[in-house]
Chain A
Amino acid sequence: MEHPNLLLGKHIRTARERLGLTLEELAKKASLPALQTVSEIELGKREVKAWELVNIARALRISISCLLDVEELSTPPIVLWRKEPKKDRASLEAAFLQRCNQYHLLEKLSGAKQSRKLPTTDINPETIDYRDAVRLSNQICNQLNLGARPAKVLAKVLEDEYSVKIWYMDLGEQGSAATVVGDFGEAILINLREAPWRRNFSLAHEVFHLITWNSLPLQRLQHDSKLREKVEKIAEMFASNVLLPYEPVSEAIQSGLERNKITYLDIVSIARELDVSTEALIYRLCSLRLIDPAKGKKVLSDSHFRATDRGSMSKYWTSPPPIPERFVRLAFAAYKLGRLSRSRLAEFLDTSLIDLPDILLVYGFNEQEDYEVEISTT
Chain B
Amino acid sequence: MKSRLVLLDADIIIEANQIGVWLALTEIVEIAVPSIIAHSEALFYSSEKRGIPHEIDLPRLIQENKISELTATVTEISVLNRKFDSVFAEVLHPGETEALALIHSGKASGYKFCSGDKVAIQGLAMIGHSSSGISMENLLKSVGLTKHISHQFTESYFKKWIGKGKERRITGDGLNQGGV
User: Which residues of chain A have a CB within 8 Å of any CB of chain B?
Assistant: 4-5, 8, 47-51, 53-55, 57, 63-65, 68, 105, 108-109, 334, 338-344, 347, 352-354, 358
Q: Is the CB of A343 within 8 A of B96?
A: yes
> Please, what's the 1-or-0 string for B65-78, where 1 marks a CB less than 8 Å from any CB in chain A?
00000011111011
- Interface size in chain B (residues, C-beta < 8 A): 45
Q: Are A109 and B91 closer than 8 Å at their CB atoms?
A: yes
Residues of B with C-beta under 8 A to A352: 42-44
Question: How many A-B residue pairs lie within 8 Å, measured between CB atoms?
Answer: 102
Residues of B near A105 (CB, < 8 A) are 87, 90-91
In chain B between 63 and 117, which residues have their CB closer than 8 angstroms to a CB of chain A?
Answer: 71-75, 77-78, 81, 86-87, 89-98, 101, 117
CB distance from A60 to the nearest CB of B (A): 14
Q: Is the CB of B74 within 8 A of A108?
A: no
Would you call the interface of chain A mostly helix, strand, loop, or mixed? helix
- Find the residue from B9, B93, B120, B164 having the highest chain A CB count within 10 A: B93
| B94→A54 contact, CB < 8 A | yes
Q: Are A50 and B91 in contact (CB under 8 A)?
A: no
- In the complex, what residues of A have CB within 8 A of residue B34's CB? 50
A-B pairs with beta carbons under 8 Å apart, 30 shown = A4-B74, A4-B75, A5-B74, A50-B71, A50-B74, A50-B77, A50-B101, A53-B77, A53-B94, A65-B81, A65-B90, A68-B77, A105-B87, A105-B91, A338-B119, A338-B122, A339-B91, A340-B91, A340-B119, A341-B96, A341-B120, A342-B11, A342-B118, A344-B91, A344-B93, A352-B43, A353-B10, A353-B14, A353-B43, A358-B50
Given that A64-B94, A64-B97, A338-B119 are known contacts, is A354 also in contact with B89, CB under 8 Å in the complex? no
Which of A105, A341, A344 has the largest number of chain B CB atoms within 10 A?
A: A341
Bound complex: CA of A347 vs CA of B91, how far in Å? 11
Q: Does chain A have a CB within 8 A of B46?
A: yes
Interface on chain B toward A: helix, strand, loop, or mixed SS? Answer: helix
Q: What are the 4 tightest A-B residue pairs by CB atom distance, in nearest-first order?
A: A343-B93, A51-B39, A341-B119, A338-B118
On whether A108 and B87 interact (CB within 8 A), knowing A4-B78, A50-B34, A343-B95, the answer reads: yes
Please report B residues at the A interface, Cβ cutoff 8 Å: 9-11, 14, 34-36, 38-40, 42-46, 50, 53, 71-75, 77-78, 81, 86-87, 89-98, 101, 117-120, 122, 161, 164
Query: With a CB–CB cut-off of 8 A, which chain A residues contact B120?
Result: 341
In this complex, which of A47, A50, A68 has the most chain B Cβ atoms within 10 angstroms of its Cβ?
Answer: A50
In the bound assembly, the distance between CA atoms of A347 and B94 in angstroms comes to 10
CB pair A354 B77 closer than 8 Å: no
Please, which residues of chain B bring their CB within 8 A of the CB of A338? 118-119, 122, 161, 164
- Residues of B near A334 (CB, < 8 A) are 91
In the bound complex, what is the Cα–Cα distance between A358 and B53 (angstroms)?
13
- In whole angstroms, what is the CA distance A344 to B118 when docked? 12
The docked-state distance in angstroms from the alpha carbon of A4 to that of B82 is: 13
Min CB distance A366 to B, Å, is: 13
Q: Is the beta-carbon distance between B40 and A47 smaller than 8 angstroms? A: no
Establish whether residues A50 and B90, one from each chain, have CB atoms under 8 Å apart when the complex forms.
Answer: no
